[in-house]
Amino acid sequence: MQIKLKEITVRELADGYEEKPAEAGVVAFGGKLDVRPPYQREFVYKDKQRDAVVDTVTKDFPLNVMYWAVREDGSFEVIDGQQRTISICQYVKGKFSVKVGTFPEFRAFHNLQDDEQEQILNYKLMTYRCTGTDSEKLDWFRTINIAGEEHTPQELRNAVYAPHHAFHKFPFGRKRRLHPTHHLLEIIPQRLGVGIVLMLTHVFLNDV
């Protein structure tokens, strides 16, 4: 399994965004990204969580890294980051309004000033891209999606403003508990590399 860190902009991510009928799913990134592959849960952000993602982008604070799997044909599927992707793209496509900057009113993307729009479209997102077998991709998905209990408001704030390079993350509103070995993910990713961290995490999870 190979894992590479790639940077993209919101402009690139939202290009070609389309919400198709349920069976066909959701696509983005010029039609090359399957945002809702079959194994993804039908989880939808609440408005407050959705707005928090956009607020983070407009303030130019970093969002947590997203995880994509690379398919044989060169296209991608989202392993983690589905709701962040949908929230960002829906806003850019004018599907809802939020408070941006010092304006008290809720504004849709097309109502923003040109410089505000450009700031959002040029916002940089980090993605880990995994190339491997289907079983490796599913195992990776399981490793980074540990089910559990809902997080506290402070944990959610930590998730919103975590740096790009942070390997651990708690997407807004997802119910999850911390694994006892989670602290290892905070101290060794840059020393050992992402691939080794995933391998070690897999071992720990299977041993519990």
Task: Please check whether residue 197 lies inside any domain of the structure.
Answer: no
Identify the domain containing residue 99 by its residue range: 2-176
pLDDT bucket at 42, cuts 50 / 70 / 90: low
Task: Please check whether residue 201 lies inside any domain of the structure.
Answer: no
Task: Please check whether residue 186 lies inside any domain of the structure.
Answer: no
pLDDT bucket at 142, cuts 50 / 70 / 90: confident
Residue 88 has pLDDT above 50, yes or no: yes
Task: Please check whether residue 192 lies inside any domain of the structure.
Answer: no
SS3 155: helix
SS3 201: helix
Task: Please check whether residue 19 lies inside any domain of the structure.
Answer: yes
Task: Please check whether residue 203 lies inside any domain of the structure.
Answer: no
Q: Residues 91-101: pLDDT tens digits?
A: 999 999 999 98
Quick one: DSSP state of residue 40?
S
SS (HEC) of 45-107: CCHHHHHHHHHHHHCCCCCCCEEEEECCCCCEEEEECHHHHHHHHHHHCCCCCEECCCCCCEE
**Cα angle 102-106-112, degrees, rounded to a multiple of 5:** 70
Quick one: DSSP state of residue 167?
S
Q: In angstroms, rounded to a whole number, what is the distance separating the alpha carbons of residues 111 and 107? A: 6
Token code pair at residue 46: 């609440």
Residue 191 has pLDDT above 80, yes or no: no
Closest to 40 measured CA to CA, from 84, 73, 80, 85 = 80
Q: Give the number of domains in the chain.
A: 1
Task: Please check whether residue 134 lies inside any domain of the structure.
Answer: yes
Q: Residues 192-208: pLDDT tens digits?
A: 344 444 444 443 344 43
Given this model, what pLDDT does residue 146 score?
Answer: 54
Task: Please check whether residue 141 lies inside any domain of the structure.
Answer: yes
CB atoms within 10 A of CB 182: 13
